[in-house]
Amino acid sequence: MKDASVFLREADVPLAEVEGIGSQDLDAIIGEASRWLAEHQNDDGHWVFELEADATIPAEYILLNHFLDEIDDEREQRLARYLRRIQGKHGGWPLFHDGDFDMSASVKAYYALKLVGDDPNAPHMRKARAAILAHGGAERSNVFTRFTLAMFGQVPWRACPVTPIEAVLLPRWAPFHTTKVSYWSRTVMTPLMMLYSRKARAVNPRGIGIAELFRENPERVRDWMKNPTGHWIGAALIQIDKVLRVIEPAVHRLFRARAEAWALDFIEKRLNGKDGLGGIYPAIANTLMAYHTLGLPKDHPNVRTAREAVDGLCVRHGDVEYVQPCLSPVWDTCLASHALQEAGLKAGDAPIARAHDWLRGRQILNVVGDWAHNRGHLRPGGWAFQYWNDYYPDVDDTAVVVMALDRSGEPEVNKEAIARAEEWIVGMQSANGGWGAFDAENNTDFLNHIPFADHGALLDPPTVDVSARCLGMLAQIGRTIEDPVVRRGVDFLWSEQEPDGSWFGRWGTNYIYGTWSALNALNAVGVDPQDPRVRKAVDWLKARQQADGGWGEDCATYWQDRKTEVKGSTPSQTAWALLGLMAAGEVDSPEVERGVRYLLEAPRDGGKWQEELYNAVGFPRIFYLRYHGYSAYFPLWALARYRNLSQGNGARPLYGM
């Protein structure tokens, strides 16, 4: 097995001059970025980069500690420094870097800072308070924030939609059932429903409140419930909410004990060790608060496990700290593998061999997860996003892992892993031809009208980006467009194309991400690059190129009236645009050359490009993400592919992405 440093030195040997781009510059930066990535690989073969959200998660961590009376002043002061640092010029806190004021993030951040001892009359607190009041006051916070405020006694429980734990006992045919919502909703809601039904109360040992953030006394507010979509169904469900408030005491008396037993069993089976329930912060934190509310002692094994999981999400940088919403090792590892393989590493080179050994060991083969509610006939065979999340593998990670394993050219080593994954992904296709991230047929649309769903992300329907990855994988391992599974998937992509030629990006920002994903899949299945629909997408990408040669797209584009907003070019989005254009046969276009020049000249820290703007989304318009690894492996991938296509005989990529 070759040592990585030896291989990467070999890769620095100058190649033939690429017209318009100096090969020495291109080779040098590809070599430097490859070495940097290899050097940041963990000893066991995986990569994991930081995953940063907004102020909400670190603020919620502080609130959690004060709910439980487990105050950690030293850590909380580091978190407070982070919160002060990311406060917006508008006085509040945004959902992403340099974004607009967001009420719920601002209320939670202000409350957290007050809990750790910040003086309400300090300039930053006065500025935040003024912004919150100017935007309608804390009473205009979203549903999840109002649950938190109710537990801290800042608003009455009627500020929250009726969310009884007894709902877990409803039959499958009922309008609501836990299997009809997404995995993240399921894992967050189950402990939250216990908190609601018990009218949980935070310990809040310092007795801190935020009455000053309300424009009206919360006890006098009568319009807490909002229709999240404006649809008549939402209005009707608000009336149903009023009826449920009248009958819920009787429901609790009859069914609460049984429902809580079901919920505790559900959580314990999915507790997931140090990775936590669902592998996501809100579910883990709600579990800890539910255990506390039910009276479990702090030394109970399940309590200790959940506490370790939530603390494991903290990231410290000197005297500053923040809390990640989850961890992304499988995703980072498979994408880093693709980038390094594009740069020239082979199966026998140490970084690839170690990474693929680690990935094969993470395949979920023996646990039948929640996806089985709609696909119970399938054998498990997927990968999760986190280190472990056996009940919740996702088809996106699975498809990208398979493509990384397959392109390394080790059929005997990877045969069984790929076959099991293919079987699972084919079975997870939804009836409309697309794929959701974690479930099939998770599209009970009316549930997005319930008062609880004001975040608009209760469900996990098929999306273009996830479906594109599945199609790319199936094509790469040999399925053709004549295959019915592939044909239905391609039809789904075409049906989702926007009038301007782009595709929406559900899990990455935004139309650039979706368009890159779709163009890769269409290339993989053999769609003619001269197809008018492909040309329309190419024209859209070219028109979105910025004056500096790069591409950028603001997170605000998730609002329909702001689809064209750009704050600046980013290395990640430039890489996606380049990869998309090259998938459509545009390697020799002047737009691609300008984009490559942008990446060659963009500032880097060693082999990693500098990128401050957020590049992904958890829930559109609600929760955004910055993958710190994206600016390491995507630009490398794009530059290496440009070099390979410019110097090779093929005009388009050979792989599924």
- Asked if 48 and 275 touch (Cβ cutoff 8 Å), the reply is no
Side-chain-side CA neighbours of residue 578 (13 Å)? 33
Q: What's the angle, vertex CA 514, arms to CA 346 and CA 463, rounded to 5?
A: 100
- Asked if 127 and 79 touch (Cβ cutoff 8 Å), the reply is no
- Asked if 171 and 449 touch (Cβ cutoff 8 Å), the reply is no
Cβ-proximal residues to 619 (8 Å cutoff; 6+ apart), any chain: 455, 456, 457
Structure tokens that stand for 109 in this block: 């951040």
The helix or strand, by DSSP H or E, that contains position 68, with its residue range, turns out to be helix 56-68
Three-state secondary-structure class, residue 101: coil
Query: Catalytic: which of 396, 454, 460, 554?
Result: 396
CA–CA separation, 38 vs 429, rounded Å?
A: 35
Size (the chain), residues: 657
CA–CA separation, 346 vs 246, rounded Å?
A: 66
Task: Determine phi and psi for 177, rounding to 5 degrees.
Answer: -155, 145
Side-chain-side CA neighbours of residue 298 (13 Å)? 4
Three-state secondary-structure class, residue 371: coil
CA–CA separation, 648 vs 653, rounded Å?
A: 10
Question: Shortest CA distance to 615 belongs to which of 40, 51, 213?
Answer: 51
Cβ-proximal residues to 454 (8 Å cutoff; 6+ apart), any chain: 142, 143, 226, 228
Cβ-proximal residues to 482 (8 Å cutoff; 6+ apart), any chain: none
Reply yes or no on whether 370 is catalytic. Answer: no
Identity of the residue numbered 222: R
Question: Shortest CA distance to 655 belongs to which of 403, 421, 487?
Answer: 403
Angstrom CA distances, 642 to 226, 341, 413, 651, 652, stand at: 50, 13, 29, 10, 10
Gyration radius from the chain CA atoms? 25
Three-state secondary-structure class, residue 116: coil
Residue whose pair of structure tokens reads 């030195």 in the numeric block? 9
Which residues have a catalytic role annotated?
Answer: 396
